A and B are shown apart, each in its own frame.
Chain A
Amino acid sequence: MLVWFAADDIHRVVRSRYVGKFPLLLLLSVFKLSVAHFSENWGVISVFPVLGGNLFSIAFGRNLDAHEPPLEATAVPSPSNTQCLDGRGCYVQTLYLSIWACVIALGISFWAGRRDWLHWQGRDQPRERVNTVVWEDAEEAVGPEDLEP
């Protein structure tokens, strides 16, 4: 992680073997390096729902399968025989997982919004600085007169 945060060259990042293993680092690299091409940025961002979606879908599927009724020895396999009959209970545990994921996303959104807001306020700083400079100039202009006896 420290190496990634210290990285300032995109080639160094691409060479890292962890790009394919841990996609979050790739997202961090976009934030850190600010690749100035919209198609690249948006392409990378668009890939992440594929990863997250499949991961959560596997969790959902495994949870749903775990709630299947036990098959009788004489029963002919069919969709009705393997259908979970617990209603909401078939999948609700996966929803608790997704709620936590959404709450984390909410926290990150707040952080991103705050970060953007601070950036906006920082952008207004130069105007105030210009006013301050004018005021200091005026004071300096007065200064030499005060020094004279």
Chain B
Amino acid sequence: MLDINNAGSIAQALLAHRKPDYDEAESAIWQAAQVSAISLASFSGRILIGIVADMVKSRLRVPRSFCMPAMSALFVLSQLLLVTIDDVRHLWMASVLLGLAYGCWFGLLPTISIEWFGLGT
């Protein structure tokens, strides 16, 4: 949530690195690109995790919650990538990874919630 809320600030900070006369219109384009990357990756993640979680349960015969460490590892990876990136042109990689992790997480959690606590009546 931290990075999704502040993707714009991160893009602007990277663009304005040692450039007090940076173009604000260009900054807006980079900011929109990050939002698009996160949104598309999040959408893909929600579809992907449905397939992966079902395969994990039906083929590997293990609980769907085994996907949770993988999703958390994706989050850690996206943060580590974000720390290393110092050029706004490469920021999309961290945004895609973060969006994918976020989409997967929010696709997986409702199913896990049903498995753990039941659907109710």
Q: Contact residues of A with B, CB < 8 Å?
A: 30, 34-42, 45, 49, 52-54, 56-57, 59-61, 64, 79-80, 83-88, 90-92, 94-96, 98-99, 102-103, 105-106, 108-110, 112-113, 116-117, 119-120
Residue of A35, A39, A84, A91 with most partner-chain B CB within 10 A? A91
For window 94-121 of B, CB contacts with A under 8 Å fall at 109-110, 113-121
CB distance from A71 to the nearest CB of B (A): 13
A57 near B5: Cβ-Cβ < 8 Å: yes
Residues on B with C-beta less than 8 A from A90 are 13
Q: How far is the CB of A94 from chain B (nearest CB, A)?
A: 7
**A95/B1 contact (C-beta < 8 A), A38-B113, A57-B6, A90-B13 known:** no
Contact call A38/B117, Cβ cutoff below 8 A: yes
- Are B72 and A98 in contact, with the CB atoms below 8 A? no
Question: Cα distance A41–B117 when bound, in Å?
Answer: 8
Majority secondary structure, B binding face:
helix
Known: A112-B68, A113-B63. 11 other contacts (CB 8 A): A36-B121, A38-B114, A42-B110, A49-B1, A85-B16, A94-B2, A102-B75, A102-B79, A105-B72, A116-B116, A117-B62
A117 and B66 within 8 A (CB): yes
Across chains A and B, which 4 residue pairs bring their CB atoms closest together, nearest first?
A53-B1, A87-B17, A37-B120, A56-B2
Contacts of B65 in A (CB 8 A): 109, 112-113, 116-117
CA distance A30 to B116 in the complex (A): 10
Chain A positions within 8 Å of B73 at CB level = 106
**Residues of chain A with a CB closer than 8 A to B72's CB:** 102, 105-106, 108-109
**CB-based contact A84/B79 at 8 Å:** no
- Quick check: is B58 within 8 A (CB to CB) of the other chain? no
Complex: how many Å from CA A90 to CA B17?
A: 9
Find chain A residues with CB under 8 A from B85 CB: 88
Q: Is B2 a contact of A98 with CB atoms below 8 Å?
A: yes
Q: Nearest Cβ in chain A — how far from B64, in angstroms?
A: 8
Residue of B nearest to A120 (CB): B63
CB-CB < 8 A to A116: which residues of B? 63, 65-66, 115-116
